[in-house]
Structure 1
Amino acid sequence: MPKTLYTTAVAAAIGAASWAASAQSATYVIDPTHTFVTFEVDHLGISTNRGRFDKKEGTVQFDRAGKTGKVELTIDTASINTGTAQFNRHLQSKDFFNSAEYPSAKFVADQFRFDGDKVSEVAGTLTLLGQTHPVVLKAKRFNCTQHPMLKREVCGGDFETTIQRSRWGMDYGLKMGMADDVKLLIQVEAIKQ
């Protein structure tokens, strides 16, 4: 094979391999209208307090074939919504989220674990009240599909974990018998760009 033809063939093969590798990884933007971050916490053994954060944004890098990914999800802590304005204000105060000083919480992850071709866990860190600690979200459901109206691929699922809020310095009410364990439920959908 002539040298120039060989060089051209090798360059084409390398280019094709690079394109194939990059084609596997895609960027997805979190759809805020189909993404909800909610919490549940025991209230003095009487009932369960629930709430959600109305404002959130983020991106996902996802390579299904390579079984890798990255997530960045930012939550506006002042957007907490329990359905009761007075309770919202207390949760925004220094007793809990201190939203004036720490207006956002952030989950960042770069470890995707799979069960077959489905994401089973996403491991990363949660930054809250200026402190960062590891968190693992377990997938209760995960799927990617072509969205019939958007005409683009959408990936998402239902994830959950339980954290001890005191790890982040949120210890209001613990001495009065309020629960430390908080269950986080994250329903997320992200649209391929």
Structure 2
Amino acid sequence: MKKALFATLFAVTLASPAFAAPLTYTIDNKHTFPRFSYSHFGFTTQQSRFNHTSGTVVYDAEAKTASVDITIDMKSVDTGSELFNEHIQEADFLDTATYPTATFKSTKVIFDGDTPSRIEGEMTMKGVTRPVTLTVTSFKSMAHPMLKKPAIGANATTTVKRTEFNAGKYAPAVSDEVTITIAIEAIAK
């Protein structure tokens, strides 16, 4: 009887979800693109993106905890125009010669039920660190259909002021407020 009970307890222990503990996910830079949009003299809303992003997400579905650490290669800015890509990297805007990366590090992830809904953290750009809250507009956690590994994906958005990051040339004619959206996919290590 004791052997059967021990065997049952041992089997249950082995069958317990392996993902009950936090998993670390590496950002998939082929499917993760921070985008930014702003009003250009009130004529149009311009949209651009950064092509190279790295970082990690630590996520524990059972405990409903998470953390996010993202680094954006600011030199990978893609406005759709090579000439403007160079222009926007100058000192009055992104100043990529001095500050080649920007970062976002979460300080708190708020869940709504089982789903992350807001990510509070600090964004550092051009040597300036400011609090930023990302609103999560979609979230998915499942096995990646091709890689057969745990994966997560999310879309999130926030609005920042360029002047608060010393990137305010032409503000307010070219809007000070910039909407940042990020589509992120990450695969478990």
What's the TM-score once normalised by structure 1's chain length? Answer: 0.86
CA RMSD in angstroms, aligned pairs only: 1.7
The C-alpha deviation readout for 1:14-49, integer Å capped at 9, x for no partner, is xx8xx9899421100000111110111000000011
Tell me the equivalent position of 2:142: 145
Paired residues for 1:45-124 under 5 Å: 45-124=42-121
Residues 157, 22 of structure 1: CA spacing in aligned structure 2 closer, same or farther, 3 A cutoff?
Answer: closer
| Residue of structure 2 equivalent to 1:29 | 26
Q: Distance in 2 between matches of 1:34 and 1:110?
A: 24
How much has 1:110 moved relative to structure 2? 3.1
Q: Deviations over 1:63-117 (max 9, x none)?
A: 1111111111000111100110111111111110000000000000031111110
Give the Cα separation in 2 of the matches to 1:22 and 1:141: 21
Conservation of the 8 A alpha-carbon contact between 2:92 and 2:166 = no
CA–CA distance in 2 between the matches of 1:140 and 1:108?
19
Aligned to 2:158: 161
Query: Aligned equivalents of 2:131 and 2:18: distance in 1?
Result: 30
Distance, in Å, in 2 between the alignment partners of 1:145 and 1:110 is: 25
Corresponding residue for 1:5?
Answer: none
Query: Partner of 1:174: helix, strand, or coil?
Result: coil
Aligned to 2:186: 190
SS at match of 2:91: coil
In proportion to residue count, which structure has more helix? 1
Identify if the C-alpha distance between structure 1 residues 67 and 110 changes in structure 2 by more than 3 Å, giving closer, same or farther.
farther
Q: Is the 8 A contact 2:37 2:46 kept in 1?
A: yes
Kindly indicate whether the alpha-carbon contact (under 8 Å) linking 1:131 and 1:168 is maintained by their aligned counterparts in 2.
Answer: yes
| Correspondent of 2:127 among 111, 115, 130 | 130
Matched positions, count: 175
TM-score normalised according to structure 2 size: 0.88
Identity rate of aligned residues, in percent? 38
Q: Any runs of at least 4 consecutive aligned residues in structure 1 with deviations exceeding 3 A, and if so which?
A: 19-23
SS at match of 2:83: helix
